[in-house]
Amino acid sequence: MIGNLRLRSGVRRLAHGRRLPLAAGLIGLVLATVFGAGAAAAIGRQHPATPAVSSSVSSDIKHDEAFVASKYHHCAAFSAAHKCPFQAAATGNGAGGHLIAIDLRQTTGDDCLLGIVYFFDGTRFVGTSHLVRPHSPGGVEGVRAIGVERFSVTYGVNDSKSTICARTGDAGTDVYKYRWNGTGFVKISGRLPRLPKVIVGL
């Protein structure tokens, strides 16, 4: 099974919540081969050398990024490189194909919201992070492949519903895990923060 994590030119989010533009043309690329959840976790910790990725996965990622960009016509304006700020992750779908998650890391031109994930079975769109619990319209800070048919999505947390935009995501993160059931993604773990804290966008 193939898993990959790729950062595209866009914005870099600081720990205290503000974003900094990346230099034009800067592209970070991290790719890893996933043989199971344990291996995926180890990959995330150790950052090994980059292996080859199949051309079909790379081609599908480009197709899926273009699909997301078509939904956010102005996302290229969100980065200094004038490219939509994408992160992509991929893993096996359990039937010989691959699942892809595309995180549009910034959905607005301000700091009020973070990212949103679009899920694909190959090039077939199958849903977004907004459609699965916790149903945040734009609170994603990152996505990872954590094993065959599984992704984890990290959501930013606000101190309260009245948090000002400049402090979006300052109260930490929550991680939700999702599993592919053959037609869509379902939550397998994750819980809302204790009030008054809220996930960004809720």
The pLDDT, as a whole number, for residue 8 is 53
pLDDT over 70, % of the chain: 74
Sign of CA dihedral 117, 134, 137, 131: positive
- Of 26, 24, 19, the C-alpha closest to 115 is 19
Q: Which residue has the higher pLDDT, 115 or 48?
A: 115
pLDDT-based confidence at residue 124 (cuts at 50, 70, 90): very high
What span, in angstroms and rounded, lies between the C-alpha atoms of 156 and 114?
8
| Cα distance between residue 53 and residue 133, in whole Å | 31
Report the pLDDT value the prediction gives residue 81, as an integer from 0 to 100: 81
pLDDT of residue 42: 34
Query: Would the pTM of this model clear 0.85, i.e. be above it?
Result: no
User: In the predicted model, what is the mean pLDDT of residues 138-162?
Assistant: 97
Mean pLDDT confidence for 53-66:
90
* CA angle (99 as vertex; 153, 92 as ends), nearest 5: 105
pLDDT at 36: 39
The pLDDT value recorded for residue 80 is: 79
Between residues 109 and 89, the one the model is more confident about: 89
Q: What is the mean pLDDT of residues 131-160?
A: 97
Q: Tell me if 144 sits within 8 A of 176, measured CB to CB.
A: no
Q: Which two tokens stand for residue 93?
A: 């779908």
SS3 category, 121: strand
